[in-house]
Each structure stands twice: as structure tokens, then as C-alpha cells.
Structure 1
Amino acid sequence: CVKRLAALPVPASWQCEYVLAETLFAQMLALPAPPARVIFYAAVLADLCRLRTAQETPMLPKMAPALAATVGALFRRVGGMDVEARSRMAEWLALHLSNFSFHWPWDRWAHAAALPETAPARLFIQECLHRMVRLSYWERIEQSLPEALKPLLPAKPEARSRYAADIAEARDIPGTEVAFAQELMGRIKSKQSVRQLEEYVEEAAGSMEDPLAGARVVATVVLILCSKSLTHLVTLLERFKRVIMKVAVSQREQEEVVQCAADIWASAPQHLAITVERLLSHKVVENVAIVDWAFAHWDKTLHGRLPSSATSVHRMCVWEVLNLVVGKTAARAADLDGNLAAAEA
């Protein structure tokens, strides 16, 4: 594909690089969905930039400058860009920079750090940095940035339990909840059976004053155990999903489970998306509960009920979770329609 693009039969006087860049970006940012995944366009554009010699690219001697100019033009117009297109653009730039040691003229965008938190240019850079951290590690990305943009980096990713001593004290969490969490963690570590755990959490949750406390405690304890790695998430959630489902029957309780995942991964939203996907796949929570949580969470960010430093990152996270749930639900509906059509044929 790249070699064919590089050998297009056009006059030598044409600036083919700019036409290619504009065409590829037009496809990638098309709404509602591009013809191919963002990673495809990232691979094509990266390979076009790597072809440097005149023998390899007789028509593309200036692909990298043309690409940089196109990105600059799009960045200047990011304020009028659709949210979905802006998110794709950030995803592409992070993927592209991961192929080139994350080198980029960030100083040209340093002014965005002084913009309001809801400014599209600032949000775009934050989402791009967030995705770059996913593709590498926090310290590596921090070293590649000028001082002016370092405040836009997401916090170092780590899982934190609301029942950790320092957090529980700071949030003034009831002692009964903390004791419930500690007891449940001890029972899990002592390898009690799932049936025994179900009986315990049902009894303990029934004695709590807050009707959502049971779902909150059980979800937090299980998801903290799942947070060590993707393997832990897959295996432990499969093992203990029934324990969570015992106390997360209603939609409101399921929303609380999702909120627990968001609290645990407040500094690493990519892990939240993965965790929510597994909760949905295991039918621990329903898609409607996730959507209701997302809109309620979005409302909190809009009305300042989340820390201002976390607001923009949480908005990006909520958008990603919504996309995930809607996409999986649509795919499931399409599968069911196909099965129904096959059965009726």
C-alpha cells in the first residue's frame, strides 16, 4: 500500500505529499466512522515518513514536513472539530509519535497549558499525552515534554483502594465499611469458597446502614485484587463475579460497582475501560447501568463536583467507556439479528 502511494503517476511539479496527507486524514476523521481503524492510518503515515531516499520515494521527498504542516493546520482548527474526530486525532498522534521516539515540536503548543481546562486545544493535548503514556510509561513521556506542558500529563497510574488507611481517614469513611472490607479481604486470602463468601457478604451487606455499601465494599475489594495485572483481572473476576453479583442486583447497585472501578483507577483511566469491559462481558453489570453512570459522572465534571485537576481526564475516560459500551451493545444486537434471520430462513 505504501509503495503504491509513493509511486503514484502524477506530475513531478505536484506536491503529492500534501494531497496524500489531506486524503488520509480526511478518511481517518470521517464521521460517523472511518473506513479503517486509526492504527491503519498511523501505520501508513509512519511508513510514508520512513521512506526517505529519492530512489524509494521519487514523488515524496517532503512527506514528514507535509504531515507536520497538516497536523498543525488541524490543531489550529481543533476548536471546531467534533469530539469523536478530536479523539481519533489524539489517538493517531500518540501512535505516530510512538514510532519516532515521541519526538515532536511540543514548544509550538506550549501556550495550550495556559488555556481554560475546557479549551479544545488543551483537551486534545491532554488526551494525546494520556494515550502516549499507555503506549510507553509515564517517566518516558515526562522526559520528552517541555516544562510548560508537564502539568497536562496524567497522574502516575496506580490502583488505590478507598479503604486504604490514608484515603479512608481523609474521606471520613465509616468504620463499619472499612471493617467489612478488611474482613472480606482476609476471607478471600484465606481461600474461603465462593459459596462461603456469598453467604458472608449477603449477611454483612444487610447489616449496613447505607443500602449501597455492600456493593461498594465487595466491588472495591475484588477489583483491587484484580488490579495487579490483566491476567489477575481475567482470572479473579471470573472466580469472584458471583460474589459481586450477590450484592449488585439493582441498577443503582451496579452503577456503584462501576463507580468503584472509576475510584480505583482514577489515575489510570485506560484500566477503567478494560475493567468495565470485563464487568460487562461477565454480566456483572448491565449496559444500561454503565450508560447511566457515565452520564451521572459527566454531570459531576460539568458542575465541579470532581477535583478540577481530574476533570478533563475523567471526561475523556467517560467518553471512552460510553463508546465501548455502545459498540459492544450494537455488535451484540447485530449478532442477535443475524441469528434470528438465520433461524427464520
Structure 2
Amino acid sequence: MDYPGGRYSNYKRTNNGDGSRRDRFGPYKGNRRSHYYTPPPKTKEEELEERLTSLLVKVGDKAPQTKSNLEVLVTVLEKEYHDNKETILKGLKHCITELPMKTSIYATLTGIVNTKNFDIGGDILSCLSDAMDEALAGGNWRSVKLLLRYFAELVNANVVLPGSLIALYDGFLRVMSEPNPRMERVDAIVYIVLASIPWVAPQLSDRARDDFDRVLQTIEGYVSQRPAIAQASGGQVVLEALKINRGAVADDPYPQLDFLDLLWAQILDLRKDNWETGILLKPYSYFEDLFNQELQHELREFSLPPDSESSRFPYQEPKFWIFDDSLIPEGKVHLPATGTIARFILDDITSDIIHLFPHNHRECANYLLALPDFLNTQYIEEHNYIPLETTIECLYCELVKLPRSQEKSVYYAMLLGNLCRNAKDKAPSIFARALKILYARLDSREGAHAGTDVESIKRLGEWFAHHLSNFGFIWKWHDWEPAIQDPTSAQFVFIRETLERCIRLSYYERVKEAVPESFQSGEFPIFPSEAPAPVFVYEDAEQCGDAETFALATELLAAMNKKKPIEEVEAILLRISRHGSGMSIDNENAMSTDDAYTDGNGAQLVRDVFLQCLLSNGCKSFSHILNIIERYLVVLQKLNRTSEARLHSTAIIANFWRHNTQFLEIVLDKMMNYRVIDPSSIISWVLSEEVLAEHYSRWFIWTTLKNILSKINLKSEQIQIKLAATRNRDEFSTNEESLQLVQTLENSLSTTNREKKEAFILVFQRFIDLITRYIQSMESQGIVPQNTIWWRWVVGNFREVGRNFEKDIYTMLVTLDAVVFTDHIDARITQIWREIKQMYQRRILA
């Protein structure tokens, strides 16, 4: 039965148990009104607009009927165009820029319309030209690429002449003649031009060969000069800071070709095949006789936006391969060879679909599975291609992309989950095979000191844990048992940390049932033998090691449990402090209350006992811990007046929750919110030799550091937003209260920005001190520091901080160079810093 609100609403009716019924809003009382809003019926105009939009979106979905569907749609558009011009043009614009697999279909539609009504064809071209102007002005390079590809397809549909498209190419390529153009700006434009050529190359070669060859020669000249251009600007084509594969040898696991170099090689390969792509669908071929009779339009001239400090361009990153025909045995890859244009076409369309549906993973999955229907099916079947392999590869590529993925990892997890459910016969096996290939590449062929970038490994593990949680933690874990013999390998770390996140997403016993017993035993257990729990040192006298301290801690815990007044709690703390200082605990004249919180060993013992008892009392839930922090906030603040005290408190909290890192991250965050500890104390704890000697590869350590820096940034951003809103109020200029609020916010922003600057300086200074001491220690033992696992993880996270906080660090470069990265620092450290700065200089659009 369909309840009010529609079949798929959350409306429920259940029995009360006495024969009556109730719904989610209370007892059922007969003919009560539905609590669901019923929208008014649609007008005829609204229904027609919805129908026209639907027709535009769905055209071409059924490949065998594409020709007839286009003819029917043209008839409808002709009939309705006069009364619904804006709806049709708007719908067509969105379809072309948001459905990249149908570019040729919409160009063919435009061609048919143009033969029927030249003026409508002109309106469509004008509308899409306006869209190009808008995309260029806004730096929306994906839309620019798709619109240029549409204009190229218009040549196939004879709506525009080849010469008109060549003129458009020439206009774009004039970017090379600008004075001192940035490499990434020229790269972006050249890539966009090249990315349209496969769709129109046969026409250009046949009808405008000389001009087409000239365009290609211009591009070839630039591509050949790129290494020299990059070197002249103090960098290289492939940025070292953004390499996903950090092999000990240059081609580990394969040569690092960036997108532009690879596409140019694929274009040259296409030219050898006389420009025949094979894989592309050519719906315009159905109407060649009709198109030969039509009149053409001129493409307008477009102006590239001037370059500026705020301009961002896509980074031509190294191409990320999983199903590489040169590495995987023949017959195991069901995709075109990596050097062919067919592979580019599959990769490019798939990537665009993934990026264009970030808020609808179900619809995205449906389009990805239907992708073969928008290509030459006969060609795909003849070559035994499985485009779903490209989809899985692109998803992994986005997951590990540096400096950051375009969407949150949960989107890719949900998308892959939908693919596995909707294509049960193919997707799960492809997904598993791809992950096994990536798993094998986590460590370099030459050892565990090199391999996949550590940030990419973390992202992969966090995503995999999310995926497992949706599929019952089912995996062939036994296949990974060899990794448990080497705790230094990235494979060991990947499994350990993924399982820890699985526990966070579920619970210990549930995950324990899914993994082999070998994971929980042996010399290097990779799965914890017990469920995550706190470590309360004062739980028993033997563990405490001091009967007097244990008795006092027991008394304190009892007082907290009974919610005794702060005065009674402080009296116990005073006695603890006296004991820690070697005094008689009952000598009231031996120490004052203030001394109890600041006096040497006594204060340290008070801090340790008090914090552990507080955490033990509040460990039942997050609400418990928040309540007890608020209850004893005054005491906590007295105990943490100095930087040394705050660092000590951070270490106590970390030790208490060392077996439950999720609680550790949360409690540290809450303590910072209450100003019990501060960012500096957490940073100093994370980047200490003692912590990293044991935990350099633990992800919670680096997540804690990253979260602290993110929180500092968020605070600054929130103040800036509030300040801007206050300044924009109408009464600002005359309202004294608003003026005072602005002054307060400006002061607060200045303080926050100063704290942020100090935090980043501290982070880099700590990294430098750590790495410098490590270099000295290793070299004194005759060990090359760069060939160690510690270097891989610590330096890798140094890079991650630099990549993730580009906007903030960029504003501090002068200070960091003058204060932190001075001339006396080891050249290996300054080289890493130089690589990070080269990334900043390229001003990459992630």
C-alpha cells in the first residue's frame, strides 16, 4: 500500500497492540490529516517544461532507437520552441555540460534542428557560445573542454565549417604567445584543444588538412619544450611533491607520464591509424545526406580570461594506471592499450561522469554502467573490452589523487558500492583484482622504504574500511597473511590501520569474526587481542606500584563518582601533591593549594592521578566525559597553566586511551575546546621523538596533527565570516554597537591568525628538529636515512602537511624561509621544502 507522501516515504503505521493503530506521529485517530505536505498540482506549463527537459536528458539512452528518437525529438522541439525557447536552450546547455557521454548525440540533434530551422540552429549556437564565455570567465575548465568538444562535433554535423573550428583553436593557442605565460595555464588550454581532436580529426584531415597540420605542429613545438620550460622555472614537468608512486627506481611501477604528454602520444598514435578512433559512436552518420544540404554558422571568437594571482588551472598529473597492458599478462586486461586514443576516450568520459554527479551516486553509477551504450558497441565487443575496468580504475585514481581528491572518500565508497550491487556479475571481481594490484604496489620492488605515497595509502585504507563495513567485512584475508611477517612494510601498516578503522565503524567482536586467527597471534599480531579499552593505571595497587598513591586515587575516584564539591576534591589533590613531593600528606602547613598545582613532582603526580580518575569516570560515553570536564574545569585549568603542564596532560590522555585511538582523538579535541590544553601541546606531543619512535606509521598520530591544524584554520575562517557579515549590515556606519563588535572581531581575528602562524611554524620546526637528529643518528651508524621506513612515513607526512595546507602556508613563506628553513639546515630537508614550494608556485586547481 502507498501511504501519504509517496511509496518510498518514511511514513509508517504499526499496531499499538490493542487492535488500534498508530503512526509515527502518535496514536491513530481515524480520519486525521496527513502530516505530509502535499504539493499543489503542476500547471500545464510546468508539466510541459518537465517533459521537454526529460526528453532532452533521455535522448540516446536506447542506442538502437537513437535515430528515430532524434527525429521525434526534433519534431517536438520545433513545435514547442516558440513558446518554450528558454526551457529548451537551458536544458540543452545543461545536457551538453553535464552528460559528457552524449556530446555527439546533442551535436547531431543540433545539426538536424539546423536543417529544419536555421534560426533555431543559430539560437542554439549562440546559447552554447554564451556558456563557453561563462565557463572561461569562471575558470570552469571541464565545461570549457566539453563545450569545445561539442563545437568540434558540430563540424561532423555540418553546422560549422572546419575552418571556423580551426580559427577557434588558433584563438585558444594564442595563449602560447602571451608574455611569460605560466606553464600550467598553457598546459590547460593545450590539453583542452587536444581533448577535442579525436571527435573531429577525420573531418579536419579531409577538409582542412594544411590548417590542421599547422595546429598540430604548434602543439608539438610546445610539448617538446615543456621540460625546458619547467626547468627554467625551477621545477620539473611532474611535480615531485605530488607523485603517488615513490619508487626507488624511476619507472616503479611504470614510467610517470603526465596527462598532457600521454595525450599527445595517444594523438600521434591516432594519426598513424589515419585518425580513425573506432570506439566513438557516430550518430551523425545516420543523417549525412540531410547534413550535406544545410547552411553553416560561424563560431564566435572567444577570449581567454587574463591570468592573475587567483587563477587556478588543472595539474597535468602523472597518469595513474592499474590495468596497465605492459605490466599485466596478455589477456588479463580488458581495455584498450594505455597508449591508444581509445583508452583516453574511456578514461576521460568516465572521469567526467564521476565528477559531474557528486550529489547523486546512484544516478552516477547508472550512467557509468550504461557507458558502453554511448560508444561503438560493436567495436567494444569485437575487442572484448570491459569499460567497467576503466570505471574502477578511475575511482581508485580519484581516491589517491594528490594533493587531494575532488570529493570526500565516502562518495567514492558509496559509488563503488552501487556498482557492486548493480553489476554483481562483474564489478566485485574487478574491484577486488584492482585492489590486489594496488596492494602489491604499496611497497617498492626494492624494499619497504619506498612505494605508494603514504597519504595515498591512508586514503585507500580509510575508504576500504568504509567499503568493508557495507559488505559484512568479507574479504580474502588469508591472501594477505604473508604481510604479517614484516611489520615494517606498508602492506602490514595498511592491513593494521584498515582493521582499526573497521572496528571504529562497527565493533571489535564483529570484525574479529571476519579476520583469520593468524592476524591475532604470532610474533607481530596485526589485529588487537582485546577490544579497545582505557588504561587506568590506578585501577589496582599492583599496577599502580605505590600503595599510598593507590589509596589516594581510590579516594579521589570515589569523590568524583559521588559528585563531591570541588573543595573536597581539591583537598584530596593537596594530599596527593604532598605525597608526590615526599611530604607528610596530613601536614597542613607543608604546602598550599596553589603549590599543589605547580610544585615539581607533586604537581605532576596530581595531574596524572586527577586526569586519569577524571577520564575513568567519564569513559562510558562522550556525554559523560563532557559533563565531568565541565564539572572540574576550574581544577583542570589550574593544573595546566604552563606549556610544560599542558604537554604533560596531553601525554597522560594519550597513554590512557592508547588502545582506543578514536577516543584519544576526540578527547584531545574536546580538551582543546575547553582550553585545558592548546594546539602547541598536541603538536609537540605528536612530533616528539618518544612518540614517533614507536608510532611513526600509526595513522591516528598524523590524523591528530592534521585535525589540529584544520581546527585552527576553521576558527580563523569562522571569525572572518562573522566579521564580513557584521561589516555588511546597513546600520554599520552609524551603530556604535556594531562598530564595537567589528573592533572586537578584528582583534579576535588578529589573535587567531597569530596563533595559527605560531602553530605552523612550530610544526615545521619540530619536523626539522626530528629529521635532523634522525639523519645524524642514522649516519653515525652508517645507514642512509632515506632508505629507512621511519624516513618514508615521517617525511611523507611532512609532505602531506605541505600539500593539505597550501593556502595557509603560502601566506607565511617569507617568514618560514627566514625563521625555519634557514641555510644551516640539511640539504635533504630543504629539498623537500623546495618541492612543496614548487607546488605552490604552480597554483594548482585540485
Alpha-carbon distance, 1:262 to partner: 1.8
Residues paired across the two proteins, number: 325
Q: Which residue of 144, 147, 153 maps to 2:517?
A: 147
Instruction: Write the deviation string for residues 204-235 of structure 1: whole angstroms up to 9, x where unpaired.
Output: 54663314222212111111111111221232
| Alpha carbons 2:538, 2:544 under 8 Å: kept | no
TM-score normalised per structure 2 = 0.36
Q: Does 1:119 align with 2:489?
A: yes
Using the alignment, how far apart are the partners of 2:375 and 2:404 within structure 1?
Answer: 30
TM-score normalised per structure 1 = 0.85
| Alpha carbons 1:42, 1:96 under 8 Å: kept | yes
SS in structure 2 of the partner of residue 75 of structure 1: helix
Aligned to 1:49: 420
Using the alignment, how far apart are the partners of 2:625 and 2:409 within structure 1?
Answer: 27
Q: Does 1:208 align with 2:208?
A: no
Instruction: Write the deviation string for residues 162-202 of structure 1: whole angstroms up to 9, x where unpaired.
Output: 1111xx53463x44543442232122223222355356536
| Alpha carbons 2:686, 2:701 under 8 Å: kept | yes
Instruction: Write the deviation string for residues 268-312 of structure 1: whole angstroms up to 9, x where unpaired.
Output: 11111111121122222101111111112xx225545xxxxxx57
| Alpha carbons 1:27, 1:34 under 8 Å: kept | yes
Q: Does 1:135 align with 2:505?
A: yes
Q: Does 1:261 align with 2:653?
A: yes
Q: Which amino acid aligns with 1:157?
A: P
Aligned to 2:536: 161
Q: Does 1:90 align with 2:455?
A: no
Q: Which residue of 347, 354, 366 maps to 1:3?
A: 366
SS in structure 2 of the partner of residue 152 of structure 1: coil
Q: Percent identity?
A: 27
Runs of 4+ deviating beyond 6 Å: none
Q: CA RMSD in A?
A: 2.4
Q: Does 1:187 align with 2:570?
A: no
Show the 5 A alignment for 1:1-345: 1-8=364-371, 9-12=374-377, 13=380, 14-52=385-423, 62-79=426-443, 80-115=451-486, 117-150=487-520, 151-154=525-528, 155-165=530-540, 169-170=542-543, 172=545, 174-194=546-566, 196-198=568-570, 201=573, 204-205=576-577, 208-209=580-581, 210=601, 211-296=603-688, 299-303=689-693, 311=695, 315-342=698-725
Using the alignment, how far apart are the partners of 2:662 and 2:668 within structure 1?
Answer: 10
| Alpha carbons 1:215, 1:254 under 8 Å: kept | no
Using the alignment, how far apart are the partners of 1:195 and 1:25 within structure 2?
Answer: 58
Alpha-carbon distance, 1:95 to partner: 0.8
Using the alignment, how far apart are the partners of 1:232 and 1:23 within structure 2?
Answer: 44
Using the alignment, how far apart are the partners of 1:11 and 1:153 within structure 2?
Answer: 49
Using the alignment, how far apart are the partners of 1:95 and 1:274 within structure 2?
Answer: 19
| Alpha carbons 1:202, 1:246 under 8 Å: kept | no
Aligned to 1:308: none
Larger proportion of helix: 1
Aligned to 1:56: none
Q: Which is greater in Rg?
A: 2
Q: Which amino acid aligns with 2:387?
A: C
Q: Which amino acid aligns with 1:277?
A: D
| Structure 1 alignment gaps of length 5 or more | 54-60, 305-310
SS in structure 1 of the partner of residue 532 of structure 2: coil
Instruction: Write the deviation string for residues 48-81 of structure 1: whole angstroms up to 9, x where unpaired.
Output: 100037xxxxxxx522122112211211121322
Deviates more, 1:211-220 or 1:198-207: 198-207
Q: Which amino acid aligns with 1:160?
A: V
Using the alignment, how far apart are the partners of 1:171 and 1:301 within structure 2?
Answer: 22
Distance 1:189 1:246, change over 3 A: same
SS in structure 2 of the partner of residue 216 of structure 1: helix
Using the alignment, how far apart are the partners of 2:516 and 2:580 within structure 1?
Answer: 50
Instruction: Write the deviation string for residues 69-128 of structure 1: whole angstroms up to 9, x where unpaired.
Output: 22112111213222222111111111111111111111221110111x221110010001
| Alpha carbons 2:552, 2:572 under 8 Å: kept | no
Using the alignment, how far apart are the partners of 2:578 and 2:558 within structure 1?
Answer: 19
| Alpha carbons 2:409, 2:459 under 8 Å: kept | yes
Using the alignment, how far apart are the partners of 2:430 and 2:662 within structure 1?
Answer: 32
Using the alignment, how far apart are the partners of 1:175 and 1:246 within structure 2?
Answer: 26
Deviates more, 1:215-224 or 1:25-34: 25-34
| Alpha carbons 1:287, 1:325 under 8 Å: kept | yes
Using the alignment, how far apart are the partners of 2:716 and 2:578 within structure 1?
Answer: 36
Q: Which has the higher contact order (CA 8 A, sep 6+)?
A: 1
| Alpha carbons 1:194, 1:240 under 8 Å: kept | yes
SS in structure 2 of the partner of residue 36 of structure 1: coil
